Amino acid sequence: LAVVPPRSRLAEAVRHAVAAAGQHADFDRVVDELHARYGHYHWVHAVPNTALIAAALTHADGDFTRSVCRAVSGGWDTDSNGATAGSLAALVDPDGVPHRWSAPLGNRLATTVPGFDGIGFDTLAQLTAQEAARP
């Protein structure tokens, strides 16, 4: 939340979601609370979806599979939420991604970005790190 205005709806929603995830052992209760509070937003709106992702990551406590499954099971923009939760969980703990999730990808990115279809994730990570290091 370092780059999100602290009094914004988004910051409030993330703080609420993290607190709810810490209060309830049953993730369904967390989801019910989020839907009661943010259900009036459109299903692809950033506020409820970001709140759900924050709750899923918090409730899963670093477990990749649980993070993705919680984010998807919460509804709203399920494919985006699962992808975002999985990306963040893998970023925090790359070794925590179970082989059953990574093996089917075969270290190959499928994309319509010219010149990058079929590139390996390892190569893409190296190129990204090089770009990040450029002044």
- Provide the phi-psi class of 15: left if phi over 0, else alpha when psi is between -120 and 50, else beta: alpha
| Cβ pair 46, 81 in contact under 8 A | no
Q: What is the mean pLDDT of the chain?
A: 97
Looking at residues 78-85, what average pLDDT do you find? Answer: 98
Using one digit for the tens of pLDDT, what is the confidence trace for 106-131? Answer: 999 999 999 999 999 999 999 999 99
Using one digit for the tens of pLDDT, what is the confidence trace for 22-39? Answer: 999 999 999 999 999 999
Confidence (pLDDT) at 31: 99
| Cβ pair 89, 57 in contact under 8 A | yes
Whole-prediction pTM:
0.90
Looking at residues 45-70, what average pLDDT do you find? Answer: 98
**Confidence tier at 81 by pLDDT (50, 70, 90):** very high
Q: Side chain identity at 106, as an amino acid letter?
A: G
**Confidence tier at 48 by pLDDT (50, 70, 90):** very high
Q: How far apart are CA 72 and CA 67, in angstroms?
A: 9
Confidence (pLDDT) at 128: 94
